[in-house]
A and B are shown apart, each in its own frame.
Chain A
Amino acid sequence: MTIAYDYKTRTSYTEDAAAQKAAHKVLLQHSFEPSLPERGYTNRTLHIDLSTLKVTEKAVTRQMKDIFVGGRGFGLWYLWNAITPTTKWNDPENDIVISPGPLAGNTAYAGSGKSIVVTLSPLTSIPVDSNVGGYFGPLLKFCGYDALEIQGKAASDVIVVIDGPKKTITIEEAPEENYDSHVAAEIFTHQFADNDKDFVNVGVVSAGKGADHARIGCLNFSWFDPKRGAVRLKQAGRGGIGLVFRDKKIKALVVHGGKMKGDLNQAADFARTTKVGRVLAKEIHDFDDQQCKMRSIGTAHLVEVMDAYDLLPVHNFQYGKHKDIDKIASTVWQKRFTQGIFDGCWYGCHMACAKGADCHKVMTGPYKGDVVTVDGPEYETAAGLGSNCGIFEPDWILESNFYCDTYGLDTISFGTCCAFAMECFQRGILNLERTGGLDLTWGNGASHVELLHQIARGEGFGLIVGQGVKYMQEYFAGKGWGDLPFMIDIGMQVKGMEYSQYMSKESLAQQGGYALTNKGPQHDEAWLIFMDMVNNQIPTFEDKAEALHYFPLFRTWFGLMGLCKLPWNDIEPADNAKHGKDAAKVPEHVQNYLELYAGITGNEMTNEELILQSEAVYNFQRVFNLRMGMGGRKSDWPPYRSVGPVTREEYESRAERYDKQLKELIGVDPAGKSVEEKMALHRTWREDRYNKLCDAVYARRGWTNNAIPTLETLKKFKIDFPEVVAVVKPHLG
């Protein structure tokens, strides 16, 4: 395909990079000996205390590898040891842990460049884990570290630079650089690369000015895109990690690695890894265009699919489809994304789904008039910033996508927060006076983006929106603006985290898939809507509980290993359908992962053992929640908007379906009943079913009826450490 515009045109921010670097003041310089991993592990962690300016190394023990494996597991274990049950997110002892897993950094198998970030979340007050691409994690590992653990708070804005070739770690005051991420990532890449060819060996982690003020702050991980000549960004989006980062006064983390090669993990059997990698690469090459088109559209291919199945969130998850869907459908994004360029967020990822919309001319705010490359939108962003807020104009979606990223704000949480605020505006809970003059009518893209600018400036109504749905519910109720129970029904948050962008009203399994998660309602644990609602494949509570056992644990494994989930099931072998009901597991790909694991670590493993590996960490995280005061069945309770129709309009939009359910499933003749009576009957039935689902899931997971892992369960996974048992015991009665 020919490209009709110059996709390399963009505003540059590096004019003053050298002068800005000269203004750095090195607070600490520490020498270290870089090392390569052996069979995926370097066996040491870098610990940095920003309060005391101390840099130390910790050994990664055999026990850590056996039980916590890597990635998310290491993050949780370090966090557990760093904090106490009374620690708050902004206490200095709170950790930010970044850990690529043992398989991360291999270039043989698509989707192998992920890092997992763990911290105590400002949104939920429990641990959050976020899986992110970009080069930082693998380059960190190839400098010699399985994890980076940051504690303490700096006195002024600093950067931390881990430079493998120079064998130094420095903490530097960096007073002059603009830290909005699209600027900061470019400047620091230029400052710490030896020359233009070396840009690819620099990874930058940053959070912009929005993350100074908002609990929905995120981190941006950079990677250099040589074809575009641009620094690109991927996000560790969920849970407010960006706010913790900025609270520690970190402007950026920079890693500078040596020359990249395919075998730096020093795999036990490198040929075994390349063999499975080639099989997957061929599948992607041969079938992606007929399957998900990830290489040309990325996850945005789902936009019209979700609409067709009534699953696209529209107007704060009230409805599942919209008449204007064509305006933001995948064909629109396909045209906006520059085609024919490798968009892999790590080497060797043939899925190459990290699409970029080049030549976006910024319409508002401090970068008005600049020409930028927008990273995305992915499906979640198009739905969250688009349909869920009634915005069906691609330019506004790109604008808010750009500003969310550069300001360090999570597009998913911001989308859900804004949708909630817009519904409050629709229902009179908010008005122009209460929003400071912002018209939050559905579809108002300009107001939407102005909220982002307000968050970045730390002022106005945007500042309130940036604290999350839970905060808004309490704030609006405290002001006497709205009825709290109603706002709890329509506010799409569980445990304090905002929902990601799928409608779960008609899928009981997905209601659990969201609300029974450890960290909060993010679909990376379980996405069961097709299996449940469309395929009707898991009809009983026990079937659903089995799916809510297998899939969350299988997906947890990606976070332990440093892998991306997408190459597992957004591409499939030509004959995958032969597995019938098991096709959703993509059995050949599961086998590939076992091969990859054995090839790198030298350890053979079965599918069952893979699940057990995840289950230990999963249970540990559940106990961790309990330790921080969040646990029990009540913490898994969803907002009713995710379970059934809250309002008359929602009921009427699906009246035929709901009336049929009344008759056939609830056993009540809807004739002659008011909408309110029918809604009440539905609510009783639906909430009862959700409770029964919880019973079945807790039993399957080896938990009590109040969602507490039993002592037998802790023993089974060898996590019955005295301090873990001590947390659980008082809850076992």
Chain B
Amino acid sequence: MITVNGDRMEWHDGMTVAEILEIRNYIFRMIAVQVNGELIKRGTYEQTSVPDEADVQVIHMISGG
């Protein structure tokens, strides 16, 4: 299990940041992703795997009209 924005979520071996975004339907483009406090560079989400018990933060910038 991992934690994504405070919610518990099923984890599997080799799970990537991109997969997490897809499962959570996080389609907003202006986001910052941190895994265990470390900032993940945009453009590397497909290649970045997330370890079990990771704390993942997907911070959505405010936007809104």
Contacts and interface: CB of A to CB of B under 8 A. Distances in A.
Instruction: Note whether A and B form a binding pair.
Output: yes
Interface of A: 290-292, 299, 302, 304-305, 308-309, 378-380, 500, 502, 523-524, 527-531, 534-537, 539, 551, 569-570, 572, 576-578, 580-581, 583-584, 586
Given A535-B57, A577-B39, A580-B39, A379 B65 contact: yes
Contacts of B63: 292, 302, 527, 530, 569-570
Given A290-B29, A291-B29, A536-B5, A581 B64 contact: no
Given A577-B32, A580-B34, A305 B62 contact: no
B61 A530 contact: yes
Interface in B2-16: 5-7
A586 B6 CA distance: 23
Nearest to B4: A536
Chain B contact-residue range equals 20 to 34
Most buried by B among A530, A537, A539: A530
A549 B3 CA distance: 29
A655 B44 CA distance: 36
Across the A-B interface, give the 5 residue pairs with the lowest CB-CB distance, nearest first: A577-B32, A527-B64, A530-B60, A536-B6, A536-B5
A569 B61 contact: yes
A529 B63 CA distance: 10
A525 to B, nearest CB: 11
Contact of A292 (B30, B57, B58): B30
B7 A536 contact: yes
A583 B61 contact: yes
A302 B30 contact: no
A539 B30 contact: no
Contacts of A527: 62-65
B65 A580 contact: no
15 contacts: A290-B29, A302-B64, A305-B28, A308-B25, A502-B64, A523-B65, A530-B62, A530-B64, A535-B5, A537-B59, A569-B61, A570-B63, A572-B61, A576-B32, A584-B62
Contact of B61 (A299, A379, A528, A576): A576
A308 B6 contact: no
Nearest to A566: B65
A378 B64 CA distance: 11
Given A534-B5, A536-B6, A576-B32, A302 B65 contact: yes
Given A290-B29, A530-B28, A576-B32, 14 more contacts: A292-B30, A302-B63, A379-B65, A527-B64, A529-B64, A534-B58, A535-B58, A536-B5, A539-B6, A551-B62, A572-B61, A577-B39, A580-B57, A586-B61
B35 to A, nearest CB: 12
Contacts of A531: 60, 62
A142 B6 CA distance: 52
Contacts of B33: 577
Nearest to B39: A577
Contacts of A523: 64-65
Most buried by A among B28, B32, B34, B63: B63
A584 B59 contact: yes
Contact of B28 (A309, A539, A572, A580): A309
Nearest to B32: A577
Contacts of B29: 290-292
Contacts of A584: 59, 61-62
